[in-house]
Amino acid sequence: QQQVKQSPQSLIVQKGGISIINCAYENTAFDYFPWYQQFPGKGPALLIAIRPDVSEKKEGRFTISFNKSAKQFSLHIMDSQPGDSATYFCAASATGGYNKLIFGAGTRLAVHP
């Protein structure tokens, strides 16, 4: 019940394309869903986050779509750039993010020029 399942494991996108990463969860107590971006040798950096009272949140080229009934959420990266090449992690937490984060296994994104 604590797991967050993330797919795909790896993704190759052409420059300018849309990158889509999906996550699913089981624990209905989760109420905060952030996405983190991690470059090699660095710590994860918070990218964007959503709470279940909205179905979509957009920040620049990054959009989270959230489907509460399906217990799924996804990250869309529009106009993907080579600089977006990194590992992306979805996560979930209960009590609005104040509790521990449960992370997915990660998606390695490569954006080819």
Partner 1 sequence: DTGVSQDPRHKITKRGQNVTFRCDPISEHNRLYWYRQTLGQGPEFLTYFQNEAQLEKSRLLSDRFSAERPKGSFSTLEIQRTEQGDSAMYLCASSLAGQAFFGQGTRLTVV
In the complex with partner 1, the residue whose CB is nearer, 18 or 25, is 25
Nearest to 76 by CA among 36, 18, 24, 35: 18
Shortest CB 36 distance to partner 1, Å: 8
Show contacts with partner 1 in window 6-25 (CB under 8 A).
Answer: 6
Question: φ, ψ for residue 91 (rounded to 5)?
Answer: -150, 165
- Residues contacting partner 1: total by CB under 8 A: 25
End-to-end CA distance of the chain: 40
**Interaction pattern, residues 78-107, with partner 1; x per rule: CB under 8 A:** -----------x-x-x--xxxxxxxxxxx-
**CB-based contact 39:86 (threshold 8 Å):** yes
In the complex with partner 1, the residue whose CB is nearer, 17 or 105, is 105
Among residues 15, 42, 68, 112, the one that binds partner 1 under rule CB under 8 A: 42
Q: Is the dihedral of CA 83, 80, 11, 5 positive or negative?
A: positive
Side chain identity at 5, as an amino acid letter? K
Q: Which residues bind partner 1 (CB under 8 A)?
A: 6, 32, 34, 36, 41-46, 49, 89, 91, 93, 96-106
